[in-house]
Chains A and B, each alone.
Chain A
Amino acid sequence: MRKDTQGRMHFKIVFWGPSLSGKTTALRWIYDNVEGLEKGSFTSVADHTGRTLFFDYTPVQATEQVVFEIYTVAGQKRHAGQRKVILEGVDGVIFVADSAPDQMDANIESLSELRELLGQRLGHEIILIVMLNKQDLPNAMQKDVMLAKLGLGNVQCFTTCAISGENVKRSFRQITRDILMQHVYQAPAKASAS
């Protein structure tokens, strides 16, 4: 969490996952469909086909003093350097896994990279939510199988379809809620606690 000069609290959320898993589609769906929250412009650094080259970004304001800065990363392997930059200062990650069986290795590789970059903070001080996306595919892998292969045990997970928006709003609401709850009930400063 960072505060700006007006005292507003900013929380950074990053959609992470392998190439073409649906990160931008999910963020776009949130931008177009989630109502009641004030949204800024949708900024996208993408190629001419719409594939993310660097990141997508949109700020979402819950109240006058609480803003979520939401990013996606470029999923292609060659954009690892850019992904590292976007992860700086993150408060919560939505890991978007592709439910197609032939994408399982890519999911594992992407999650492994995330774990390497965030270490033990992932899932603890940095909230982790998992979206098992493309569950509308006829051959979509089942939730339990995917979580086992990803080595994810006790994690908040949603089966989603980013194109139709199924469970996308729930995933977004969950991560924003978890981030806020973490900060509302955060332990007091170490100095006063000891």
Chain B
Amino acid sequence: MHPVKTFDEILADVIKSEGGIKKCILVDRTGLTIAHVSKFSYYPLDVDGIGAIASAVFCASEEQGKNLDVGNLIIVTSEFDDGKIFAAGAGKGVLCVITDKEVNLGMIRMVMKKAATELAKVLEEFLSEKPSVETGKTDSDREELRAALGELERG
């Protein structure tokens, strides 16, 4: 199955599982947003910026856990006046879920745990394709890189 569809499918399942979930974002541990799904198409968000923060906050919390020797990080919960943000590790990625204020915490945790396991597998497959891309770029990749060089020269 093509990873793109799978990422979106898994994130869509998360959104549908609890009425209060507004947005799901999957980021890798370098801060790159890999996929995202919103309940409403008009929900305006700077997804790249939010993904970068979600990844950094989760990874920093993990680092903190290592320093304090308190075991593996399961979930980061941030509670605000009008909503909540959850972040859970998903293998080489981080699953971030944005919700309304009133949500079923137990359900969220359970759904995120299940989705994180699925995403970890798909992400592993998706990212394992990188070495061949990294070292054996396609002609179109090289053309794009050359075009980008041209843009930078003009800038």
- Contact in complex: B134, A85 (CB < 8 Å): no
Chain A contacts for B33, CB-based, 8 A: 4
| CB of A85 to closest CB in B, whole Å | 4
B35 interface residue, CB < 8 Å from A?
A: yes
Q: Which of B82-90, B103-111, B112-120, B145-153 contacts A (4 or more CB under 8 A)?
A: B145-153
Across the A-B interface, the 3 shortest Cβ-Cβ residue pairs: A89-B30, A43-B49, A62-B148
A-contact bits for B21-60, CB 8 A (1 contact / 0 none)? 0000000111111110000000000101100110011011
A45 interface residue, CB < 8 Å from B?
A: yes
Chain B interface residue count, CB cutoff 8 Å, equals 45
| CB of A113 to closest CB in B, whole Å | 15
Number of chain A interface residues as a range: 35 or more
Chain B contacts for A5, CB-based, 8 A: 3-4, 7, 34-35, 126
Task: Report how far A12 CA is from B136 CA in the complex, Å.
Answer: 20
| CB of B59 to closest CB in A, whole Å | 4
In A3-60, the 8 Å CB interface with B consists of 3-6, 9-10, 12, 34-37, 40-41, 43, 45, 54-55, 57, 59
A65 interface residue, CB < 8 Å from B?
A: yes
A173 interface residue, CB < 8 Å from B?
A: yes
B155 interface residue, CB < 8 Å from A?
A: yes
Chain A contacts for B7, CB-based, 8 A: 5
Q: CB within 8 A of A45: which of B48, B53, B63, B135?
A: B53
B31 and chain A: residue at smallest CB distance: A69
